[in-house]
Amino acid sequence: MNNGLKIVTIGGGSSYTPELMQGFIKRYETLPVREIWLVDIPEGEEKLNIVGALAQRMWDASPYDVKVHLTLNRREALKDADFVTTQFRVGLLNARIKDERIPLSYGQIGQETNGAGGIFKALRTIPVIMDIVRDMKELCPDAWLINFTNPSGMITESVIRRAGFEKCIGLCNGPITVMKEEPEMLGGKQEDYSWRFAGLNHFHYHRVWDRQGNEVTSEILRLMSEDDRTNMANVHDVAYLSDQLDAMNCIPFSYHRYYYLYEEMLQHQIEDYGKGTTRAENVKKVEDELFELYKDPALHEMPELLMKRGGAYYSDAACETIHNIYRNTGSLMVVNTKNRGAVSCLPYDSIVEISSLINAKGASPLVWGDFEPSERGWLQIMKAMEECVIEAAVTGDYGMLVKAFQINPLIRHGHGAKEMMDEMLVANEKYLPQFAEKIKELKEQGTVIHDEKVRQLCEQGL
Amino acid sequence: MNNGLKIVTIGGGSSYTPELMQGFIKRYETLPVREIWLVDIPEGEEKLNIVGALAQRMWDASPYDVKVHLTLNRREALKDADFVTTQFRVGLLNARIKDERIPLSYGQIGQETNGAGGIFKALRTIPVIMDIVRDMKELCPDAWLINFTNPSGMITESVIRRAGFEKCIGLCNGPITVMKEEPEMLGGKQEDYSWRFAGLNHFHYHRVWDRQGNEVTSEILRLMSEDDRTNMANVHDVAYLSDQLDAMNCIPFSYHRYYYLYEEMLQHQIEDYGKGTTRAENVKKVEDELFELYKDPALHEMPELLMKRGGAYYSDAACETIHNIYRNTGSLMVVNTKNRGAVSCLPYDSIVEISSLINAKGASPLVWGDFEPSERGWLQIMKAMEECVIEAAVTGDYGMLVKAFQINPLIRHGHGAKEMMDEMLVANEKYLPQFAEKIKELKEQGTVIHDEKVRQLCEQGL
Amino acid sequence: MNNGLKIVTIGGGSSYTPELMQGFIKRYETLPVREIWLVDIPEGEEKLNIVGALAQRMWDASPYDVKVHLTLNRREALKDADFVTTQFRVGLLNARIKDERIPLSYGQIGQETNGAGGIFKALRTIPVIMDIVRDMKELCPDAWLINFTNPSGMITESVIRRAGFEKCIGLCNGPITVMKEEPEMLGGKQEDYSWRFAGLNHFHYHRVWDRQGNEVTSEILRLMSEDDRTNMANVHDVAYLSDQLDAMNCIPFSYHRYYYLYEEMLQHQIEDYGKGTTRAENVKKVEDELFELYKDPALHEMPELLMKRGGAYYSDAACETIHNIYRNTGSLMVVNTKNRGAVSCLPYDSIVEISSLINAKGASPLVWGDFEPSERGWLQIMKAMEECVIEAAVTGDYGMLVKAFQINPLIRHGHGAKEMMDEMLVANEKYLPQFAEKIKELKEQGTVIHDEKVRQLCEQGL
Amino acid sequence: MNNGLKIVTIGGGSSYTPELMQGFIKRYETLPVREIWLVDIPEGEEKLNIVGALAQRMWDASPYDVKVHLTLNRREALKDADFVTTQFRVGLLNARIKDERIPLSYGQIGQETNGAGGIFKALRTIPVIMDIVRDMKELCPDAWLINFTNPSGMITESVIRRAGFEKCIGLCNGPITVMKEEPEMLGGKQEDYSWRFAGLNHFHYHRVWDRQGNEVTSEILRLMSEDDRTNMANVHDVAYLSDQLDAMNCIPFSYHRYYYLYEEMLQHQIEDYGKGTTRAENVKKVEDELFELYKDPALHEMPELLMKRGGAYYSDAACETIHNIYRNTGSLMVVNTKNRGAVSCLPYDSIVEISSLINAKGASPLVWGDFEPSERGWLQIMKAMEECVIEAAVTGDYGMLVKAFQINPLIRHGHGAKEMMDEMLVANEKYLPQFAEKIKELKEQGTVIHDEKVRQLCEQGL
């Protein structure tokens, strides 16, 4: 690392890349980057070229001499990398459209990270990350893998427990958003408070204290009843039950709405679906706009619009993590890492999302301890679901996938849910080689796509 | 105990009592009963007299000289008892009608043991069992409490963990039914197989082996796909997903249909509700018929009809448990008792339903060990739910009750579920003194009963 | 198994074999043995022939037609076996002489099962049992391995955890002796009491109840203060501290004397050593006498003397275990089997010695639960020690062996203990191929045998 | 706390107090102390006056206006305190003389923190700390208790688990010493390394990493074989077995010598005892010298000699902890705090000594995870011993004390050890009111003090 770091970004053609560049530029004095490799697949070449050109312009506009390499050759890029970040999306936003629309056509919630949609996102992504790790073990075994591809928890668990690659940290932008918004709700500044998060990716809880060590958790819960400013851009802003918030001893996350307010969330999504405007489709539009902006040769900084896209702070968190590792800072961050007893109700080897001290040896979680039953049971069923999904993704075992669906609390179970699942398999045929045989069988048995838009995507080979 | 046992049955006016008498009569040679006390409350006096007269006739027709005492004075009955059995139903079947009909009026499943209905059954029953145990500690501290009042697991947990009364065993007729039916499915006899059950009341799994030690679990699962004869009388016989059964390594219980086949079960119940014939109402009819039969002074044995009532074998299990304790047999039974590590994924102090050796010192569970994630997560969320319910029942804390509802996997969560809950509170006003203040508040805020039949019951002061 | 069972006994030339034969003869009506194969190594051929001839004479004197095969070819014997029992002693009693005399020459206790001597017994035996299991996997993968080679717990753990051969049960004669003697101390009969044992091989505790479910543990502890009849023949009968017994809530085992009465036990052994009569040498004399008796062609039953040899009931326990498996009885026995949560303070996968139900599918431990700290800590350090020993035995890692010695609570630690250990390595050279290189190095560095008798044994190539 | 902090030091007459004053003076700018109360008992009044005068001189020589109050009235001092530190020694150094000399008169090691001596130190101290906490709950319920009275782990466990006072942090100077010395051994500076400690007070292990995240644990272990500079002043500097160090994956602490090098440590102590110069007596001499220095009215700073006394850095650690709490810094320190899953092999509620982040809400341990068996077993038996000691100290139960002695790995068990224990009880009569009755009984039964010096102390009523 002596003459600067080699950073590799898989999925480099992503719209997130400018935030990543900005993050590196502003940290350059303490985080000396030498070269950045943006890697993508042939289908993403056009975007890679657009965003890659902008990335180079951003560096050129900075005082630093850093070369941005664009490549479709992942192995070339990984060779001797110091840090690898992953932000790819298998099947692009079209896949998310399928993840959302097919469940909705069955009157069910898709939910792109932990619901039926999230399961399929995991099925598509895990085999690819396993491949990447195989390459890393060979080409850059000492590099750190900083993942912010979703579902970030399951991806990190696959890398660490399944592929046995320990130098991996998974990120999420959720906690960062929370820690920006809550001080404002309280009328204070971020440095006035300390946070402890624990749980799973997109399914964590947290507590907050002020500088005198007084817990302000209940105060925030009370304020959330009135106006929850911590809600993520991705999630419909339905009000929690104030009686529930009053009774809680820790603060839920935006995505808990899908569980605690299932009916309302479902109804909103069905309405959107009726209007043809699922979240994925909205995001796709923003993405198209973004790439139009990116093309502008006069642009040499990250456009503001990116922060409204739903993944704000993700890329900055990646830079911050790399910085904390490289500089051995020991700063606190909320990351996905191995539990090792920090959350007593979850298995020792599980990946959890938790407040951790980050330094040169990686992430050291702070002990959280016991959850109360009202949160414990949820976390445990979610983790069990994750384990089933990962097993299905790695083995291609159809029975295991049925089990994963049957234990997912966002799915109303029964024969209909299985039909929905089969349809999702067929619609994702291109991205699920591990299920190839089963998908063939399903098609022969007559499984068809009911949603018009999804059928069109499939017919276009997307 | 030297000159015979004093047996006390709380809820003695129950239609189950004749099976209990039959159980004691057939075991008399090795289980010398001296006197039986049937206890009930004033509202149950008429039934107590009817069933008590039959009970005495049954003994009189036997070769044994046993006196059946009828009383409304519980403390008199408990004095120096050797064994106490509990089979009472707070609020009678009318309460179950409310437990089922109010949820269905919201398009939700009631489910009388683990769903919204079961939560309210627990709320009504737990304060009463706590009172009984208080009396037992004073009047018969060395007696055993054999509970078969549902929800049996939560009641047993309240007695052991909350009231600190260790000599309590909870029963369920489910496993007995399973062990009678599965051998027939396999074309063998009960003595040809051995079973291991573990989990929670109405939420357990089991495995089966033949005499040579070969596991026949998969064979049963396969047969269940075709024709599941183990289904309980209480539960709609919807076919499990055969792909799920094929993938499982342990056998689910009837009640798992509510979870694994949520949509179908809901639909069936909504249809029944439309026809005005919920399960509770059917049971009530059978009960009325039974009591008509019981009145017949010529009847001096248990009528066959009782076995169709839904609680078959419960009472016999109670006699068998008492026999195994008294004779120190060390026989295996499936009972509700303290986990103490037998099921690794559940808390040490939790009550679990599990294969246990029964002898003079009580129940010793056989170690089950780990569950696979696909069952583990379910069990964990169910246990967490149970803990919230018990806490709410004991404390009358409304916030805790909201949490219990919010974690129950049979409830579609959201604002509607809370309204349903509030309505159930109001409809159960008479039986929930611990929530008196909150119920008053809810009524003042305008919470009303929407279901016509339930409203009538309430208006009649039932 | 249809036309009778094939039983194979590894170490068939052992003096224990007649008890084993007697055990099979008396159970023949329900345990139909077809053929018995006694296997030994060339060094044991003479004894094998003597004891084998007696074994055949015993069967010939019975009403049953069973052939006893003698062989040095283990693989021939194992082919299609139904049950394999192991009772071999690597290095014979000479090895035990070393195990006891070398430590005593350093003023330390040898203790043949859990002390320095036991460590070396494990080092010699584990590689051999791993070989046997390798053969079994190939030649009789469905057979059960019933081990009563000591240290029985560590051997069973090696077979199950290291070799991954699940169908193994380890035995010890200790609990059987206890359950024969305690009723006599109490003035009752064995059927009047029930026992629960838990812990580790030669390091377990137990509790006792009478038929009415009253615990009689304290009563036995009090009687033990006066006269402990449960003490094993192997162990000096030093009186426990009565203050300690009074304060305990469970009953220690004979071998706990080595820990609780360390100083007295050491002094006794040093005195014996001074007189040249360690336990191993005494046993050797009894063995010689036994084999003289066995040679008598008129003898066709087990001689009484065998029961005084120190391993009484071991072989009968093996027959009983086989019987319980074959007849699927579900009887309770105390065996070494996988913990799986039964003893909360020990690892899930550990082998524990515990009251278990034995049937066709093997051993199912009864849950013991928590130990109090005063026993918990001991069990935990002993299990940790066992794990270090097994690791050292399997890998031949010298550093791990140092760690095993450093954590063994019967060894007074320091530089002297390491010298003792090195001397034991050199004295066991012939039987420790996994440490060949290190032993060579030690010899080159001048490690010599100080004890005269041990030196002679080594010089004789024993 | 607005106009500065009120600090109370129980045992204010201790020779440590000047270091404490120095610590507060150097941190004054960020830790605004208003007043300091030094509390002691009548027997310590003279020393209190000497050291108190020096303390005031130290502040007077500083730029800060802080008043040092001297009092024998603990309750007056505690009223409205912000932080309470405890550094008292029940029975003064005379008690330590007994703790060391009586065991040595039996040929056993005393060891003032975890051996027989440490057990008696706990027996004397725990009732006093329970009293202090009772006062704090009444007079300053929101204050923090910073304990550095030994045995620090057991004291902290008593305060938190027994007295239920959560705002308590226990300190030890060991880790601080290690973190000062190891960088020198490695030829680097403290800021170049990061440490993780876990275990128990005076029985912890640690690992070390450099700034690049490379573990340097093995390197330190190798250097320790040659020259262990981390050894504490209190502990004879015997060389560890280099084979053991080479095989370890974490670094032992000075006090592990008592366990790993039992024989050598015992021999050294017996030699010292023969010469009449046990550690306690040496410390007493240094103390006398210190107080001579302290009397000098010209002295207004901490004399260098104090740092050689054996407890160097203790007081500074107390100031640092208070600073980290008050300023909400989130700095890492090694403290005694609740485990809550951080060390997987120890109970959830146990107090452990562990690397923790310290801020306004107290100590948050970093997860350590699993120990290897070679350390795990040791930690577990030591924690079990601690639990027995605390139980005996709180209840005065003699049987429990016997058990505590019987499980302590530094004691060679048997009848002699019990005699030694009885003698220690008698010698500590004045300080063990909870054992008054038993001590009376022992004296009547003829228990006498064999060691001449101890007898004299007792005769002097010390």
pLDDT in tens, B14-45: 999 999 999 999 999 999 999 999 999 999 99
Lowest average pLDDT, out of A34-48, A360-374, D44-58, D309-323, goes to: D309-323
Say how many Å lie between the first and final Cα of chain C, rounded. 40
Measured in degrees and rounded to the nearest 5, phi and psi for residue B329 equal -75, -35
Q: What pLDDT is attached to residue B310?
A: 67
Q: Does A416 touch chain D (CB under 8 A)?
A: no
Between chain B and chain C, the number of residue pairs with CB atoms below 8 A apart is 95
Cα A317 to chain centroid distance, Å, stands at 12
Measured between beta carbons, the chain D residues lying within 8 angstroms of A194 are 328, 330, 359-361
User: Of B150, B172, B194, at which residue does a domain stop?
Assistant: B172
Asked whether the beta carbons of residue A370 and residue D340 sit closer than 8 angstroms, the reply is yes
In terms of CA atoms, which chain C residue is nearest residue D370? C347
For residue D164, which amino acid is it?
G
ipTM above 0.90, yes or no: yes
Largest CA distance in chain A: 66
In terms of CA atoms, which chain A residue is nearest residue D349? A369
Q: Over the stretch C80-108, which tens digit does the pLDDT of each residue have?
A: 999 999 999 999 999 999 999 999 999 99
Give the mean pLDDT of C48-75. Answer: 97
Judged against a pLDDT cut of 60, whether residue C335 lies above it is answered with yes
Q: Does C325 touch chain B (CB under 8 A)?
A: yes
Q: Does B190 touch chain C (CB under 8 A)?
A: no
Q: Prior bond to A175 cis, omega within 30?
A: no
Asked whether the beta carbons of residue A377 and residue B398 sit closer than 8 angstroms, the reply is no
Cα–Cα dist B177/A124, whole Å:
44
Q: Between the CA of residue D307 and those of D15, D16, D286, D304, D310, what are the distances in Å?
A: 11, 9, 11, 6, 7
Q: Please report the DSSP string for C152-201 in residue order.
A: HHHHHHIIIIIS----EEE--SHHHHHHHHHHHHHTS-GGGEEEEEEEET
User: Minimal CA–CA distance to B35: which of B92, B83, B94, B105?
Assistant: B83
Q: What pLDDT is attached to residue D2?
A: 59
Asked whether the beta carbons of residue B376 and residue A380 sit closer than 8 angstroms, the reply is yes
Which of D247, D248, D384 shows the shortest C-beta gap to C373?
D384
Q: Over the stretch C229-272, which tens digit does the pLDDT of each residue have?
A: 777 766 788 899 999 999 999 999 999 999 999 999 999 999 99
Q: What pLDDT is attached to residue C228?
A: 76
User: Minimal CA–CA distance to D140: which of D230, D216, D78, D89?
Assistant: D78
Measured between beta carbons, the chain B residues lying within 8 angstroms of C344 are 340-341, 348
Q: Over the stretch C300-316, which tens digit does the pLDDT of each residue have?
A: 998 888 877 666 787 88
Q: What pLDDT is attached to residue A332?
A: 97
Q: What pLDDT is attached to residue C2?
A: 59
For chain B positions 368-387, those within 8 Å of chain C (CB to CB) are 368-370
Measured between beta carbons, the chain D residues lying within 8 angstroms of C245 are none
User: Of A169, A198, A219, at which residue does a domain stop?
Assistant: A169
In terms of CA atoms, which chain B residue is nearest residue C360? B213
Helix (H) or strand (E) holding C39: strand C33-39
pLDDT tens across the length of chain B (462 residues): 558 999 999 999 999 999 999 999 999 999 999 999 999 999 999 999 999 999 999 999 999 999 999 999 999 999 999 999 999 999 999 999 999 999 999 999 999 889 999 999 999 999 999 999 999 999 999 999 999 999 999 999 999 999 999 999 999 989 999 999 999 999 999 999 999 999 999 999 999 999 999 999 999 999 998 887 777 766 788 899 999 999 999 999 999 999 999 999 999 999 999 998 888 888 888 889 999 999 999 999 988 888 776 667 878 899 999 999 999 999 999 999 999 999 999 999 999 999 999 999 999 999 999 999 999 999 999 999 999 999 999 999 999 999 999 999 999 999 999 999 999 999 999 999 999 999 999 999 999 999 999 999 999 998
Give which of C211, C356, C367, C368 to mutate to test B binding, by max B Cβ within 10 Å. C367
Which tokens belong to B135? Answer: 């009396």
* A151 vs C286, residue with greater confidence: A151
Asked whether the beta carbons of residue C402 and residue D241 sit closer than 8 angstroms, the reply is yes
Specify whether the CB–CB gap between B372 and A404 falls below 8 A. no
Structural domain includes residue A266: no
- The active-site residue, picked from B16, B240, B255, B294, is B255
Beta bridge partners, A85, equal A9, A146
Q: Does D365 touch chain A (CB under 8 A)?
A: yes
Asked whether the beta carbons of residue B215 and residue C370 sit closer than 8 angstroms, the reply is no
Structural domain includes residue D213: no
Asked whether the beta carbons of residue A406 and residue B377 sit closer than 8 angstroms, the reply is no
Cα–Cα dist C289/D413, whole Å:
37
Min Cα separation B342/chain C (Å): 6
Give the mean pLDDT of C46-64. Answer: 97
Asked whether the beta carbons of residue D247 and residue C403 sit closer than 8 angstroms, the reply is yes
Asked whether the beta carbons of residue D397 and residue C262 sit closer than 8 angstroms, the reply is no
Min Cα separation C313/chain D (Å): 30
Average pLDDT, chain A: 95
Q: Over the stretch A119-142, which tens digit does the pLDDT of each residue have?
A: 999 999 999 999 999 999 999 999
Asked whether the beta carbons of residue D211 and residue A325 sit closer than 8 angstroms, the reply is no
Structural domain includes residue C132: yes
Give the mean pLDDT of A185-207. Answer: 97
Asked whether the beta carbons of residue C370 and residue B362 sit closer than 8 angstroms, the reply is no
Q: Which residues neighbour B380 within 8 Å (Cβ) at sequence distance 6 or greater?
A: A345, A376, A377, A380, A381, A384, B345, B346
Give which of A349, A367, A370, A376 to mutate to test D binding, by max D Cβ within 10 Å. A367
Q: How many domains does chain B have?
A: 2
**A448 lies in which domain range?**
396-457
Min Cα separation B369/chain C (Å): 5
Measured between beta carbons, the chain B residues lying within 8 angstroms of A262 are 412-414
Give which of A225, A246, A249, A263 to mutate to test B binding, by max B Cβ within 10 Å. A263
Q: Which residues neighbour A141 within 8 Å (Cβ) at sequence distance 6 or greater?
A: none
Judged against a pLDDT cut of 80, whether residue A308 lies above it is answered with no
Asked whether the beta carbons of residue A397 and residue B247 sit closer than 8 angstroms, the reply is yes
Which of A383, A398, A416 shows the shortest C-beta gap to B243?
A398
Structural domain includes residue C301: no
Structural domain includes residue D299: no
User: Of B147, B172, B197, at which residue does a domain stop?
Assistant: B172
Q: Would the CA dihedral through A256, A261, A265, A266 be positive or negative?
A: positive
Judged against a pLDDT cut of 90, whether residue A307 lies above it is answered with no
Q: Do chains D and A touch (3 or more CB pairs under 8 A)?
A: yes
Structural domain includes residue A381: no
User: Minimal CA–CA distance to D169: which of D9, D31, D328, D361?
Assistant: D361
Q: What pLDDT is attached to residue B236?
A: 82
Give the mean pLDDT of A41-66. Answer: 96
Cα–Cα dist B365/B351, whole Å:
11
Lowest average pLDDT, out of A414-423, C371-380, D32-41, D109-118, goes to: D109-118
Q: What pLDDT is attached to residue D1?
A: 54
Q: Which chains touch C (3 or more CB pairs under 8 A)?
A: B, D
In terms of CA atoms, which chain A residue is nearest residue D361? A213
Q: What number of helices (H) and strands (E) belong to chain B?
A: 18, 11
Residue A158 C-beta-side C-alpha neighbours within 13 Å: 30
Q: What pLDDT is attached to residue B231?
A: 77
Residue B159 C-beta-side C-alpha neighbours within 13 Å: 32
Which tokens belong to B162? Answer: 């909350």
Min Cα separation C220/chain B (Å): 18
Structural domain includes residue C76: yes
Residue stretches of chain D with pLDDT short of 50: none
Q: Does A263 touch chain B (CB under 8 A)?
A: yes
Q: Over the stretch B69-116, which tens digit does the pLDDT of each residue have?
A: 999 999 999 999 999 999 999 999 999 999 999 999 999 999 988 999
Measured between beta carbons, the chain D residues lying within 8 angstroms of C265 are 414
User: Minimal CA–CA distance to A170: which of A201, A129, A216?
Assistant: A201
Beta bridge partners, B354, equal B198, B335
Confidence of residue A393 (pLDDT cuts 50, 70, 90): very high
Which tokens belong to B352? Answer: 């679990």
3 state DSSP class of B445 = coil
Measured between beta carbons, the chain D residues lying within 8 angstroms of C264 are 414-415
Q: Does D247 touch chain C (CB under 8 A)?
A: yes
Helix (H) or strand (E) holding B93: helix B92-105
- Count of residues in chain A: 462
Min Cα separation B105/chain C (Å): 45
Asked whether the beta carbons of residue A367 and residue D369 sit closer than 8 angstroms, the reply is no
Q: Over the stretch C276-293, which tens digit does the pLDDT of each residue have?
A: 888 888 888 888 999 999
Residue B188 C-beta-side C-alpha neighbours within 13 Å: 16
Q: Do chains C and A touch (3 or more CB pairs under 8 A)?
A: no
Cα–Cα dist B357/B332, whole Å:
4
Please report where in the chains the tokens 């939420």 appear, as a residue: B203
**CB count, 10 Å around CB of B459?**
9
Specify whether the CB–CB gap between A159 and A207 falls below 8 A. no
Q: Over the stretch D436-452, which tens digit does the pLDDT of each residue have?
A: 999 999 999 999 999 99
Q: What is the CATH number of the domain that holds A99?
A: 3.40.50.720
Q: What pLDDT is attached to residue B135?
A: 98
Measured between beta carbons, the chain B residues lying within 8 angstroms of A399 are 243-244, 246-247
Judged against a pLDDT cut of 90, whether residue A50 lies above it is answered with yes
Structural domain includes residue C188: no
